[in-house]
Amino acid sequence: MNPWLMSLLLYVFLAMFAGTIADRYWILRAGEPDMRWDRIGLRLRNLLTIGFGQKRLLYEKAAGRMHVAIFSGFLVALLRTLTLIGRGYDPQYHLPFLVGPVGVAYAFLKDTLTLVVLVAVGYAVYRRLVLRPRRLHLSAEAVLILFWIATLMITDLIGDAALFRLQPDFPERTGAWVGNLLTGMFAGSDPATVRVWFEIMFWGHVILVLAFLNVLPFGKHFHVLTALPSVFMGRLTPSAALERMEFEGRETFGVGKLEDFSWRRILDMYSCTECGRCNDACPAHLTDKPLRPREIITDARDQAYELSDHLVAVGKLKAQGRVKEAAELIAAQDRPALVGEVNSEDALWACTTCGWCVSACPVVIDHIPHIIDQRRHLTMMEAKVPPALQNALKGLENNSNPWNVGAAAREDWIGDQPVPLLREKGRAEYLLFVGCAGSFDSRNQDVMRALCTLLDKAQVDYAVLGTEEGCCGDPARRVGHEYLFQMQAPVNVETFKKYEVRKVVTACPHCFNTIANEYPDFGLQDVEVIHHGELLADLVAEGRLKVGAAAAAKVTYHDSCYLGRHNGIYEAPREVLSAVGGLDLVEMPRNRRAGFCCGAGGGRMFMEEDLGTRINHARIAEAAATGASEVCTACPFCLTMLGDAINETDRSENLRARDIAEVLLENLE
Ligand code: SF4
Ligand code: SF4
């Protein structure tokens, strides 16, 4: 065609692109190190299922299919673009593996997907401009990109049509059915006119593709390039497991500036598609708190782009190991504070760490560590915590419980019930980790006593630690007091080791998550951790607990975020309830993976909720709307929040909240 022109275009556009990508790379290097290439097999599986398979997008039918269509079209069109670039040098060029029947099959696939992409783009424009889902911004950039994509598809098809008119025996014509059909539009045109059409479509397509590449890094469509690496380098641990923070050799703790984030968190910022799925069911956002998880990511990204030159310089210094000079450069930079101005303190404290955002994000952005890292800065660097939380932290420091009750009272809940203590018994198959709520909160003490009665009836060999138990550390860790958490966790781990504990059962999903997913970083190995919902379901299934029938009643089950979404335990508590004859288990609209938070996680249990409406009120309204007379839970925090909401909204005559253990105990044969 025209090798000189093609070379010039490639040189100009690719040089510009390389310059932009180099800047983006140095910005990543301005972040802290983070190892993200271990367990390659698992990473490849995530790449295939979440990245190429678009698994999370398909949670939503219409929008998900639309995106899958566009994504598939793009993958196929990539080969087409390479072919067209080759044809700039040799008009008959084909990629070596796309010749003969394979080339014909590819042409068929390409034309079919091109049409599919056009339909998907049409739907996307309709959705943005007419349907206007609440979660999407009305963004000119998004609409422009959609038209850009459509134009790419159209120039490709018309270019093919003109080519086939000029060269009726072109090899792939039999497969390129749409291009072939469109040759009709040139009926009666003289070859010179068709040639002009072909040249315009060919060069127009090539220029649009190369320009598209250069536009991508400047907006949310950068995800086209970063989403797959982002998925490959995503976290592999359970979503509520926070990474251990190292204190040695550090002068600052948590994230107070962009440069304190790891490079992986900056990659998260590049990859956000601004789809708003994270905002969609965020309990804080839906109850009018100032938190929107999407904006936590994109506001930080916008600041990164504003500080681009500075971050590039920092990145280059860090890459050369000139850490002191990098630190001086960072200290000299005047900019709005990341914590407090870019992300408001109220927004950071509003998060319940429910995990909805993390589970919904199609490019596996990890909002919770973004937020907790900034809370760590507030808590440990600035000593700025909400007033109500101060008492809880004092209690955790002095008495190892957030209720700040004397540590010596930790086993008072036992009363005269024959609950075995490990220090007296020596060994037991199960350590029942009671947790602070079960130990100190009167409502949850009832649950713990019911659970112990059930374990006794099923002749389970168990014991509790009593005053040797300390807080698992969940509240301290979620509010950003990592130092306190790292004081608490090893104490419990050492106690477990002292008694050679091999199995831990707990009625608290927060204790469950911390012990199962976070204690291994503190030396707990080869210990099986189960939730009481699972143990009770097994005891019922094995016939060790014989269940009778209740008076006919409708009940609903509320999924604890830390048990369900974060740890995938949805069915066991439901099996316990379903085993009770007479109970009609009805589901709330938001259940299992889509379950709605009670508002207590992330340390929110110990803070005032004075912004917006109350999360537990929203949830209890949903439970009441099912017509159930009972809302059952398997979490002490949820039980407290739902019980409070029932009282505060005057529903106590028609609705009550109970733990599954209480329901089971009441209905044993
Ligand atoms: S973890 Fe839950 S509360 Fe926190 S930002 Fe995500 S969706 Fe919102
Ligand atoms: S963080 Fe994820 S879910 Fe939220 S807007 Fe960005 S891409 Fe969408």
Structure confidence at residue 538 as a pLDDT band (50, 70, 90): very high
Structure confidence at residue 350 as a pLDDT band (50, 70, 90): very high
pLDDT at residue 73 in the model: 86
Structure confidence at residue 139 as a pLDDT band (50, 70, 90): confident
pLDDT of 497 over the 80 cut: yes
Is the C-alpha dihedral spanning 223, 225, 226, 231 positive or negative?
A: positive
pLDDT in tens, 601-630: 999 999 999 999 999 999 999 999 999 999
The alpha carbon of residue 47 and the mean position of all alpha carbons in its chain are separated, in whole angstroms, by: 15
Both tokens assigned to 280: 């969609």
Q: Phi/psi at 509 (nearest 5 deg)?
A: -60, -25
Q: What average pLDDT does range 519-528 have in this prediction?
A: 97
Structure confidence at residue 61 as a pLDDT band (50, 70, 90): confident
Rounded distance between C-alpha atoms, residue 628 and residue 625, angstroms: 8
- Could you tell me which residues are beta bridge partners of residue 556? 586, 631
pTM exceeding the 0.95 threshold for the entire prediction: no
| CA-CA-CA-CA dihedral for 497, 498, 499, 502, to nearest 10 | 10
Q: Apex CA 596: angle with CA 293 and CA 488, to 5°?
A: 75
What stretches of 458-604 show up as alpha helix (H) in DSSP? Answer: 474-478, 482-498, 509-513, 532-541, 571-579
Topology at the third CATH level for domain 542-666: Rossmann fold (3.40.50)
Structure confidence at residue 550 as a pLDDT band (50, 70, 90): confident
How would you list the strands of the sheet with 656-659, edge to edge?
A: 581-586, 549-557, 630-633, 656-659
Question: Does 73 contact ligand 2 (Cβ within 6 A)?
Answer: no
Mean pLDDT of the residues in the chain: 96
pLDDT at residue 598 in the model: 98
Amino acid at the residue 299: D
- Could you tell me which residues are beta bridge partners of residue 421? 464
3-state secondary structure of 241: coil
pLDDT of 102 over the 80 cut: yes
The alpha carbon of residue 312 and the mean position of all alpha carbons in its chain are separated, in whole angstroms, by: 28
Neighbours of 614 (CB within 10 A): 17
pLDDT at residue 652 in the model: 96
Rounded distance between C-alpha atoms, residue 147 and residue 151, angstroms: 6
Cβ(393)–Cβ(481) below 8 Å? yes
Q: What average pLDDT does range 550-579 have in this prediction?
A: 97
Distance (Å) from CA 217 to ligand 1 centroid:
27
Amino acid at the residue 526: D
Q: What average pLDDT does range 31-51 have in this prediction?
A: 94
Residues of the chain with pLDDT > 90: what percent?
92
Instruction: Classify 415 in phi/psi space as left (phi over 0), alpha (psi -120 to 50) or beta.
Output: left
Element (H, E) at 647: helix 636-648
pLDDT at residue 605 in the model: 97
pLDDT of 144 over the 80 cut: yes
Instruction: Classify 227 in phi/psi space as left (phi over 0), alpha (psi -120 to 50) or beta.
Output: alpha
- Could you tell me which residues are beta bridge partners of residue 659? 633
Cβ(494)–Cβ(459) below 8 Å? no
Helix axes 615-625, 636-648, angle to 10 degrees: 80
Neighbours of 387 (CB within 10 A): 8
Tell me which residue has tokens 């309830």: 577
Question: Does 368 contact ligand 1 (Cβ within 6 A)?
Answer: yes
For ligand 1, what atom is nearest to the CA of residue 360? 7
pLDDT in tens, 334-347: 999 999 999 999 99
Q: What average pLDDT does range 39-57 have in this prediction?
A: 94
Both tokens assigned to 310: 């500075």
**Shortest-distance Cα residue to atom 1 of ligand 1:** 353
pLDDT of 58 over the 90 cut: no
pLDDT of 457 over the 90 cut: yes
Rounded distance between C-alpha atoms, residue 133 and residue 503, angstroms: 47
CATH of domain 388-537: 3.40.50
Q: What average pLDDT does range 321-335 have in this prediction?
A: 95
Element (H, E) at 505: strand 503-506
Topology at the third CATH level for domain 37-225: Fumarate Reductase Cytochrome B subunit (1.20.950)
Amino acid at the residue 340: G
CATH 1.20.950 domain position(s) in the chain? 37-225
Mutation probe of ligand 2 site: the residue of 54, 134, 265, 274 with most atoms within 8 A of C-beta? 274
- Please name which ligand lies nearest the alpha carbon of 268: 2
pLDDT at residue 137 in the model: 81
Q: What average pLDDT does range 224-234 have in this prediction?
A: 95
Residues of the chain with pLDDT > 70: what percent?
100
Beta strands in 157-202 (DSSP E): none
pLDDT at residue 389 in the model: 96
Element (H, E) at 551: strand 549-557
Check residue 246 and report its DSSP letter: P
Distance (Å) from CA 303 to ligand 1 centroid:
22
Question: Does 294 contact ligand 2 (Cβ within 6 A)?
Answer: yes
For ligand 1, what atom is nearest to the CA of residue 352? 3
pLDDT at residue 62 in the model: 83
CATH 1.10.1060 domain position(s) in the chain? 258-382
**Shortest-distance Cα residue to atom 6 of ligand 2:** 272
Both tokens assigned to 135: 């979660």
* Cα-trace Rg, the chain: 30
Q: What average pLDDT does range 1-26 have in this prediction?
A: 96
pLDDT of 1 over the 80 cut: no
Structure confidence at residue 77 as a pLDDT band (50, 70, 90): confident
CATH 3.40.50 domain position(s) in the chain? 388-537, 542-666
75 or 267: which leads in pLDDT: 267
Structure confidence at residue 250 as a pLDDT band (50, 70, 90): confident
pLDDT at residue 235 in the model: 92
- Could you tell me which residues are beta bridge partners of residue 504? 431, 529
Residue 362: burial class (beta carbons within 10 Å; 0-12, 13-18, 19+)? buried
**Shortest-distance Cα residue to atom 3 of ligand 2:** 361
- Could you tell me which residues are beta bridge partners of residue 343? 339
Architecture of domain 258-382: Orthogonal Bundle (1.10)
For ligand 2, what atom is nearest to the CA of residue 360? 3
Both tokens assigned to 523: 């030396």
pLDDT in tens, 105-135: 999 999 999 999 999 999 999 999 999 988 8
Element (H, E) at 531: strand 528-531
- Could you tell me which residues are beta bridge partners of residue 549? 581
Check residue 105 and report its DSSP letter: H
3-state secondary structure of 134: coil
3-state secondary structure of 590: coil
pLDDT of 272 over the 90 cut: yes
